[in-house]
């Protein structure tokens, strides 16, 4: 069974987090959410379980705290960095996250970034390659990457996407990469997308 780690912080876009996590679970992917405190220096597990306040006020209890030893590419097949401006700022500036992103890519495991989460490709100093993001952070990325306006961009093991409106095709693409095209269709059908939906 493939395994995925989905990051979450205060200010994470809760639709991007929830759609990705839920869709992976529907595909049979063992999925774990890991909380990143805003202040990395106070990496104290004082609240157990932790609580992340989403960008629109929904409080979500992550499964665990981010722990470098438990979160590496030897433990999971996919690392997901969701958006939400404040949550993505916390993740992209966190040195443990940056190291994990580099390690996942170097190990041939998948990394998914969506919305402002794509800023983590820059702070992790990933090689110049095709990438997309929320349009609001495009200016911060287009010099260092081959910026694309496609809803989902697959570049080797790096999968990027744009915002809440592209999270379903982002999550279904991750399912296809981890579990195959047939599983993607098995997961997609009972979600009952409107006729004409282009993913």
Q: Name the residues annotated as catalytic.
A: 16, 115, 134
104 or 170: CB nearest a second copy:
170
E strand or H helix at 158? strand 158-161
CA 117, CA 141: separation in Å to the nearest integer? 11
Interface segment toward a second copy; rule CB under 8 A; list 36-44, 65-73, 98-106, 162-170: 162-170
109 in contact with a second copy (CB under 8 A): no
Dihedral (C-alpha) 54, 57, 63, 68: value to the nearest 10 degrees?
Answer: 30
**Window 33-62: residues binding a second copy (CB under 8 A):** 33, 49, 51, 54-61
108 in contact with a second copy (CB under 8 A): no
39 or 196: CB nearest a second copy:
196
CB of 104 to a second copy, least distance (A): 23
Interface segment toward a second copy; rule CB under 8 A; list 10-18, 69-77, 103-111, 116-124: 10-18
> Contacting a second copy (CB under 8 A), which of 25, 47, 106, 127?
25
Check if the beta carbon of residue 104 is closer than 8 Å to that of residue 77.
Answer: no
CA 13, CA 115: separation in Å to the nearest integer? 9
Backbone angles phi, psi at 85, to 5 degrees: -55, -50
E strand or H helix at 127? none
E strand or H helix at 5? strand 3-8
195 in contact with a second copy (CB under 8 A): yes
105 or 114: CB nearest a second copy:
114
Query: In a 3-state reduction of DSSP, which class is residue 84?
Result: coil
List the end-to-end C-alpha distance of the chain, in Å, as a whole number: 25
Query: In a 3-state reduction of DSSP, which class is residue 110?
Result: strand
**Window 122-141: residues binding a second copy (CB under 8 A):** 134-136
108 or 135: CB nearest a second copy:
135
**Interface ranges with a second copy (CB under 8 A):** 13-15, 18-19, 21-23, 25-26, 31, 33, 49, 51, 54-61, 134-136, 151, 162-166, 168-169, 188, 190-199
């Amino acid at each position: 069974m493939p395994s995925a780690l989905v990051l979450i912080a205060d200010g994470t876009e809760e639709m991007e987090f929830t759609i990705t996590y839920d869709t992976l679970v529907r595909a049979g992917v063992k999925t774990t959410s890991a909380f990143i405190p805003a202040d990395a220096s106070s990496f104290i597990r004082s609240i157990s379980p932790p609580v992340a306040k989403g960008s629109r006020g929904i409080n979500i209890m992550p499964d665990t705290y981010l722990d470098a030893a438990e979160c590496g590419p030897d433990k999971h097949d996919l690392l997901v960095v969701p958006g939400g401006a404040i949550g993505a700022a916390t993740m992209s500036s966190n040195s443990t996250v940056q190291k994990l992103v580099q390690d996942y890519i170097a190990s041939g495991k998948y990394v998914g970034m969506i919305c402002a989460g794509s800023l983590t490709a820059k702070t992790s100093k990933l090689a110049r390659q095709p990438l997309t993001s929320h349009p609001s952070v495009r200016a911060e990325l287009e010099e260092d990457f081959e910026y694309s306006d496609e809803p989902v961009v697959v570049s080797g093991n790096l999968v990027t996407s744009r915002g809440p409106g592209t999270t379903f095709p982002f999550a279904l693409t991750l399912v296809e990469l981890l579990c195959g095209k047939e599983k993607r269709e098995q997961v997609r059908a009972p979600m009952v997308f409107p006729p004409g939906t282009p993913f």
